Structure 1
Amino acid sequence: MSYLDPAIAVIDPVAAAGPYGREGTAIGFRVICVLTQEYRTPYVTQTFDPADFSEVYQHSCIDETVAFLKSRSVVAVVPGAPPSLKIVDVLAESLGLIGNPTESLEARRNKRVMKEYWTRHEVPCAAFHESGDLESVISWADGRGYPVVLKPNASVGGVHVFVCANRQEVVDAFNVIVSRADPYHQQFSTVLAEEYLDGDEYFMDLAHTGGGEAMPVAFAKYEKIQRNGNASIYKNMFSLPLDDPIALAALPYVRSVNDALGVRYGINDTEFKMTSRGPRVVEVNNRLPGASVPLMIQRCSGLNVFQENIRIFVDGRRTSGDYHFERHYNICCLINDQPGVVQGYAGLDEVRELLSYDGERMIAPQGVHWPVTRDLDGCWGLIRLVHEDREQLSRDAEAVHAMMRLLVA
């Protein structure tokens, strides 16, 4: 890779965005890493290797970062991890590159503003209320009726997301949200309260190319458990066919959800529930999905979403018409029930013998204290399963959760 090769900048290529460096290099780009902050948690840092990038630049202010990227003649600016959404469109606009409109930037990163935009555009969504005053949140919850959901306005991976059944649970959740930072070191002074939505939860990933209808890249169903009020303890993510009846029924709605936020370019992730009243959006993550989903999309459809997203931000075009899954995946998120210092992992050898086993990522390092799993950040490992037979995937997923245990002392 030489300075004659075109350059792109990826903002915060950590967590699920870590592969951008090598994937961009593989299709002929110099890939510059721009970090907006320091990252420390294992789930976020494990996938990041500075050697995958031609340069690593520490962002401090927009003007200086724009000047640096101009000096490197970058041809695209690509969003990585969630904190990148604060600046990626501002950088693209300042550099005259493809990006999404800055006037709706907050609507693509702040969940309260998202809901205000959906309400304004008559896109059905959960009722909501945001406040930094506990009594205001309690009053809204009392008036709305329990259960209610409490979360930060820019939550990630289900961190500090609670389902509250009464006033005391609202008080407890409020205090956690305003006092504890999330894995990306974000601190919140307000709490977003939402109507609890019934039904199963799904995610759909769309490829947006600046015009025409966004195309579905992936569709999957979440299996989550709730424990001690924690609403989003991830267990499984099962892919579904892109022509699944639920996907076809929800697609126009998911497109309208994104249109209302001004999404024009890039592959992004929309989470929604299929409720008794029809589809209702949970949130839009205006970046690639996390938790190894990009790798699974490639293993099942052949589409490299990192490279596809780079191409979209370089020239606004996709490589193909429709996307299609030849196989299916399940990502098993491993749940820890006993806190302690990690000694090792039980069941891994047996899991590797499963018919659909495709790979693993052990997140909890040995010798480190690991907590009880309450969200995706507390997941101690990911087991990737791939197979043509979705029933086989279900059987193997049950086996994974039965056999795998985190050994702690």
Structure 2
Amino acid sequence: MNGRRSAIVIVDPVSSARHYGSEIRSKGLIGVALISVAKLSEGLRRLQDLSGFEVVVYAGSFELAVCRLAEYEICAVIPGSDLGLGLSDMLNYHYGLVGNPVISLKSRMCKLELKKTLEYKNVPATHSIEVSLKSIERSQDQNFNFPLVVKPSQGTGSKNVKVCKNLAELSLAISNIEGNHDFHVDGEVVALAEEYIEGIEYFVVTANLGKNENKIFLCFAKYEKIECSGNLSIYKNIMSLPLSGDNAQLAFSYACDVNEAIELDYGINDIELKIGPKGVLIIEQNGRLPGADVPRMIELCSGFNCYDFNLDIYLGKKFQHTATPRFNKHFCICCLISTAPGEVKSISGVELVSQLSSFNSMNLFVSTGQRVEVTRDFLSSWGMVYLVHENRELLAEHAELVHQLLRLNM
């Protein structure tokens, strides 16, 4: 025995990943939060809670991470957010642990490489091109087929994702991406332009049990988003749907094809996609547990513990019998939207919302006396309300009530 304590490392835990600590303790192991980013943006910082981890280690590079983890017997390394994808795969390779191939890492981290890989593997996807202010200035006569979606090649929370209807809007969107250094990822962040896809936006959560092994369909949900001033991805509601529907099965099959193409062999991930006139087409892939407390909602509605299962995947457990979870209830996550900036004098409707029969919990990111800005994306929502009920029609009604009742008074 070398005397080192056995540990599971969660790299850059944010949002849903904050719950890993207690699950790791239940397995009799040390939960280590490895922080590779010195300073998070305000939107991500409010979603980070390290209190559940027994140990917190700060390391801004692979070499430093290996050095500072030397006192532990590392059993698994798991990404806790998009920020931790690269370091997780490299550490797993270094330790000889279960993980996804480093050689295909870029296709799981960079949206442009993702699209290139899918095209090469003949998985349907919209074509993306790299654009810059310089390239537009050099080719003013270039014909763009508007509307276009412009997004950063890396990043999270739909930050700086815009729908552009003309060249002026395109130039402004590119400028916002090129002037923003708040992504905290490896490599240069560039602007990508791609066709705007008509259709309803969904996400699929899949458990990947290994190369050429089974994949388990864990969740299917619909995004209700609103567009305001060119901000494409202002989340309003996230509503779970039955796994047995035709669209659900189409989406799961497509997600399996995507994961196989990019060699996301291990772990639970979610894929955002649209289903419309052109079929099923990817928006983005997130190589970690879904955010917004979706894993907790899955467990409340089906009894399936995503944290425990994902830990077992990375610990190398062999699964003899796997079944799709059965949802006895459904969930709706209401993302609270601010349409104007100002100082919060009071918040009304909290008590009324908490009395709804579907109410589960509420997480408000602002309080009296604080300043709130206009909601631009998921990370700038001013709070989340979680609803759970057997009746999806009632959930939809209650979701509308949440948005009507909860108000910021400024």
Indicate the TM-score class for this superposition, using the shorter chain for normalisation.
over 0.9
Q: Is the 8 A contact 1:118 1:124 kept in 2?
A: yes
Q: Give the distance between the partners of 1:196 and 1:137, measured in 2 at CA.
A: 23
Corresponding letter in the other structure for 2:247: I
Q: Which residue of 2 aligns with 1:165?
A: 165
Report the 3-state secondary structure (helix = DSSP H, G, I; strand = E; otherwise coil) of the residue aligned with 2:97. coil
Q: Which residue of 1 aligns with 2:345?
A: 343
Q: How does 1:78-89 map to 2 (within 5 A)?
A: 78-89=78-89
Q: Give the distance between the partners of 1:351 and 1:194, measured in 2 at CA.
A: 40
1:392 aligns with 2:368: no
Q: Is the 8 A contact 2:330 2:389 kept in 1?
A: yes
Query: 1:249-275 CA distances to partner (integer Å, 9 max, x unpaired)?
Result: 222221111111011000000011002
Corresponding letter in the other structure for 2:307: F
Moved more, 43-52 or 166-175: 43-52
Q: Which residue of 2 aligns with 1:241?
A: 242
Corresponding letter in the other structure for 2:178: V
Q: Give the distance between the partners of 1:51 and 1:128, measured in 2 at CA.
A: 40
Moved more, 389-398 or 47-56: 47-56
Moved more, 315-324 or 331-340: 315-324
Corresponding letter in the other structure for 1:313: Y
Query: 1:186-220 CA distances to partner (integer Å, 9 max, x unpaired)?
Result: 99652111111110000000000103231111110
Corresponding letter in the other structure for 1:21: G
Q: Cα gap change, 1:156/1:257 in structure 2, threshold over 3 Å: closer, same or farther?
A: same
Corresponding letter in the other structure for 2:311: I
Q: Give the distance between the partners of 1:403 and 1:267, measured in 2 at CA.
A: 35
Q: Give the distance between the partners of 2:141 and 2:203, measured in 1 at CA.
A: 27
Q: Which residue of 2 aligns with 1:55?
A: 55
Q: Which residue of 2 aligns with 1:71?
A: 71
Q: How does 1:351-366 map to 2 (within 5 A)?
A: 351-366=353-368
Q: Give the distance between the partners of 1:138 and 1:199, measured in 2 at CA.
A: 33
Residue 353 (structure 1) shift: 1.0
Q: Which residue of 2 aligns with 1:334?
A: 336
Report the 3-state secondary structure (helix = DSSP H, G, I; strand = E; otherwise coil) of the residue aligned with 1:52. coil
Q: Give the distance between the partners of 2:115 and 2:179, measured in 1 at CA.
A: 24
Corresponding letter in the other structure for 2:344: V
Q: Give the distance between the partners of 2:70 and 2:408, measured in 1 at CA.
A: 47
Q: Is the 8 A contact 1:206 1:268 kept in 2?
A: yes
Q: Which residue of 1 aligns with 2:14?
A: 14
Report the 3-state secondary structure (helix = DSSP H, G, I; strand = E; otherwise coil) of the residue aligned with 1:259. helix
Q: Give the distance between the partners of 2:130 and 2:137, measured in 1 at CA.
A: 7
Q: Which residue of 2 aligns with 1:251?
A: 252
Q: Give the distance between the partners of 1:324 and 1:148, measured in 2 at CA.
A: 38
Q: How does 1:174-193 map to 2 (within 5 A)?
A: 174-182=174-182, 189-193=189-193
TM-score by length of 2: 0.93
TM-score by length of 1: 0.94
Query: 1:142-170 CA distances to partner (integer Å, 9 max, x unpaired)?
Result: 53411001110013111100000001100
Q: Cα gap change, 1:49/1:229 in structure 2, threshold over 3 Å: closer, same or farther?
A: closer
Q: Which residue of 2 aligns with 1:265?
A: 266
Q: Give the distance between the partners of 2:397 and 2:187, measured in 1 at CA.
A: 40
Runs of 4+ in 1 over 6 A off after TM superposition: none
CA RMSD of aligned residues (A): 2.2
Corresponding letter in the other structure for 1:215: I
Q: Cα gap change, 1:133/1:175 in structure 2, threshold over 3 Å: closer, same or farther?
A: closer
Q: Which residue of 2 aligns with 1:194?
A: 194
Gap runs ≥5 in structure 1: none
Report the 3-state secondary structure (helix = DSSP H, G, I; strand = E; otherwise coil) of the residue aligned with 2:51. helix
Q: How does 1:196-345 map to 2 (within 5 A)?
A: 196-210=196-210, 211-317=212-318, 320-345=322-347
Residue 134 (structure 1) shift: 4.0
Corresponding letter in the other structure for 1:112: L
Q: Which residue of 1 aligns with 2:377?
A: 375
Q: Is the 8 A contact 1:181 1:188 kept in 2?
A: no
Moved more, 111-120 or 333-342: 333-342
Report the 3-state secondary structure (helix = DSSP H, G, I; strand = E; otherwise coil) of the residue aligned with 2:66. helix
Q: Which residue of 2 aligns with 1:156?
A: 156
Corresponding letter in the other structure for 1:388: E
Moved more, 197-206 or 239-248: 239-248
Q: Give the distance between the partners of 1:327 and 1:142, measured in 2 at CA.
A: 51
Gap runs ≥5 in structure 2: none
Query: 1:96-123 CA distances to partner (integer Å, 9 max, x unpaired)?
Result: 1000000000110100000000010011
Moved more, 325-334 or 58-67: 58-67
Q: Which residue of 1 aligns with 2:403?
A: 401
Q: Cα gap change, 1:39/1:387 in structure 2, threshold over 3 Å: closer, same or farther?
A: farther
Q: Is the 8 A contact 1:98 1:316 kept in 2?
A: no
Q: Among the aligned pairs, what percent are the same residue?
A: 35
